[in-house]
Amino acid sequence: MNERLDRIVKSYLPRLVQSVCESVRIPSLYTEDASGFPYGIEIARAADHAMACARQLDFKVTDLDGKICWADYGDGEETVAVMGHLDVVAPGEGWDFEPFCGCVKNGAILGRGTQDDKGPLFSSLYALKAVADLGIPLSKRVRIIFGMDEESGKMRDVEAYLKSERPPLYAFTPDGAYPVVNTEKGTIKFTSTAVFETATVKGISLAKISGGESIGSVPARAEAVLKGEIQALERTASAVAAEAKRNGWKTKIAAAGDHLTITVHGKAAHATLTELGENAVGRLLILLSATEINGGAGKFVRFLADKIGVEADGCSLGIKASHAHCGALTVNMAKISGDEHSITVTCGIYIPAETISFDSVCETLEQSFSFAGGSFEPFAKTAPLYYSPEHPLIKTLQRGYHNATGKEPYLVSMCGGTYSKRMPNMVPYGATFENEDDRAHGANERLLITNLMESTRLMAYAILEMAK
C-alpha cells in the first residue's frame, strides 16, 4: 500500500462529500421537454455541476453537445477510463426523509443517487485527483466519463461517445460491487399490451389499474379501481381484505358508491435485486385474480397473476434457469397501466450467462403472452457480459484491489445492466461492499461516508494500475 496516496485521498474527503451532496440535490430524472437538452434540464444541470467540480480540480473538461461529458488527466496516446452516470430513477414511496435532500446525517450522505451512481462517480473523480497529486508519471491518459442516460436503459450517451471517440483500452464503471465483477446477466425488457372488447355482461369491470414508475425498480405501489354493482363490490372487498391479511400485505380498500379502490403497498428495490423488494404490482394482480372482474381484462389479470405475480424466478413462465457463478434468472414486473379496454405491462428479465438462450426466452414469452391475448414487444435486449478470469482487464483490477487492501480479490457476478454492456473493454468495479445495505433504486437511499472514503481509495489504486 502507498501511504502517501492514502493520505492524499483522505485530504479530499470534505470536498468529495460536499460535491456528492450538491449533486444529489439536483433531481436528475430523465424528461422529454422543450429545454433543448437531450435528457432534460435537470440532467443537464447535474452534468454542469460535475464539469464545474472537475475544472476546480484542474482537469481538462469536454462537453459533447450535452449528450455526454468527461474530464481528462494526462496526455498518453492510449486512454483508460472510469464511467458512471448522473441520472437517477424516480424516488418512489416509503422515504423517511426528502429524497433529494443531499444532507449528511449519522455518518451518511442521504438521498437518491448516493449509491447509484453519483457517490461512486465522484469517488472516481477525486481518486483521479489523488493520483494526479501523487505525481507518478503515467503512460496513459485517464478519463472520467460522466454518463447521463443509463437509467433509461437506452444508453444513448455511450452511442454518442463511440461516434466521437475510440473505446478506452481499459475501463471500469463504479456501478457494481467489490472486489471485481467479471460477469453480468443478460437483459430482455419488454412491454405487453392486451386490447379487449368492452364487456357487456353484468358484474365488475376494471375502471383503472396502475403501478410502478421505472423499469429499473421493483414497484412499491399499485392501485386498481373497480366499478359495478354494490353487492358484488362488497363481496370483492371482503375477499380482497381476507387474502391481503392472509399474506400479510399492506392494502387499503376504499368504497365510494359503485366504485372500489384497492391500493397495495410493497417495497422498492433495484429491478435486478428482486429479493430485496416486495412487488406491489404482483401483489395487486394476485388479489384481483380472485375477484369477479369480467371480460378480457379479468382474463389478462388472472394470466399475469398466475404466470408472474410475485414469482421472481420465471418458473411459471417456463424460463427458470440458474448458474453456479452467475446466479438465477430473475423476473421483475415493473409497471402496469390500463382499464377495461386495454392493459399494458412492462417487465424485465435478467438472464445468467451460460444458461438459457435469448431466443428461447423470447419464443416462450411471445407464445405465453400471445395465448393470453397480449403482444410481446421487446425494447431492450443485451447479451450477458462475461470476461475470463485471465483477461488482462480483470487481472489489472485485481492487482489494484490487492495493492490497496492486501487481500486476494475474488470474482463477483451481478444482475445489473451497466455501461459495461455497451462500452467495450469495461467491467463493473465497485462501489458496493460485501454486506453493505444496498438501497439503490429503493427508499431511503444513503451512502456511508466511511464507504465513500474507502471506495475512493480503492479506485485510486485501480486507476494507478490501469494507467501506469
Using one digit for the tens of pLDDT, what is the confidence trace for 367-420?
Answer: 999 999 999 999 988 888 999 999 999 999 999 999 999 999 999 998 777 999
CA 106 and chain centroid, separation: 26
**Residue 146's closest CA among 80, 62, 215?**
62
Conformation bin of residue 430: beta by default, left when phi > 0, alpha when psi is -120 to 50: left
For the chain, what is the mean pLDDT?
94
pLDDT at 325: 86
Cell matching residue 140: 496513459
Domains of the chain (ranges; CATH) run 3-184+385-467 (3.40.630.10), 187-382 (3.30.70.360)
pLDDT at 292: 83
Cell matching residue 390: 485471465
- Give this prediction's pTM: 0.80
pLDDT band at 299 (very low <50, low <70, confident <90, very high): very high
Q: How would DSSP label each residue in 51-95?
A: HHHHHHTT-EEEEETTTEEEEEE---SSEEEEEEE-------S--
Could you tell me the sign of the dihedral formed by the alpha carbons of 439, 353, 419, 390, in that order?
positive
What ranges make up the beta strands (E) of 115-212? 141-147, 170-173, 176-177, 180-184, 186-195, 204-211
CA distance 152 to 142: 27
pLDDT at 200 over 70: no
pLDDT band at 93 (very low <50, low <70, confident <90, very high): confident
Placement of cell 462537453 in the chain: 63
CA 409 and chain centroid, separation: 25
Cell matching residue 19: 460535491
Placement of cell 455518518 in the chain: 107
Judge whether 446 and 388 are in contact, CB under 8 Å: no
pLDDT at 451 over 70: yes
pLDDT band at 15 (very low <50, low <70, confident <90, very high): very high
The b/e string for 84-95 (b: 16+ C-beta within 10 A; e otherwise) is bbbbbbbbbeeb
CA distance 366 to 364: 6
Which residue stretches of 165-264 are H helix?
230-247
Q: Give percent of the chain above pLDDT 90.
A: 85
